[in-house]
Amino acid sequence: MEYRRLGRSGLRVSVLSFGSWVSSGAQIDTGAAVECLTAAREGGMNFFDNAEAYAGGESERIMGAAIAELGWPRWSFVISTKVFWGLHDDVMARIKTAARG
């Protein structure tokens, strides 16, 4: 696996990441996530992507549970996540209100 530096952070991340957009929630459970994450890790991936909106927040929960089960040392992987859309209507209402000033 090829790795690249992530900005000036000092982190080295795999050029390929395991993204959980269409793989968690209704598609797979924690057990299957453990299998997928293990295969990714065995392939050299240390970079895992998520977002609060994936499967209504379930993707983050499932990935977290799977990594906890795997017991990987925290220094050995990087997780990115995105927070913007919000899972609740009141979050979007606040964003729209703030944008209007």
Catalytic residue positions, numbered: 54
Q: Is 66 exposed, middle or buried (0-12, 13-18, 19+ CB in 10 A)?
A: buried
Dump the DSSP string for 23-51: TSTTS--HHHHHHHHHHHHHTT--EEE--
d(CA 62, CA 56): 11
Residue 93 has phi, psi (to 5 degrees) of -60, -40
d(CA 96, CA 37): 37
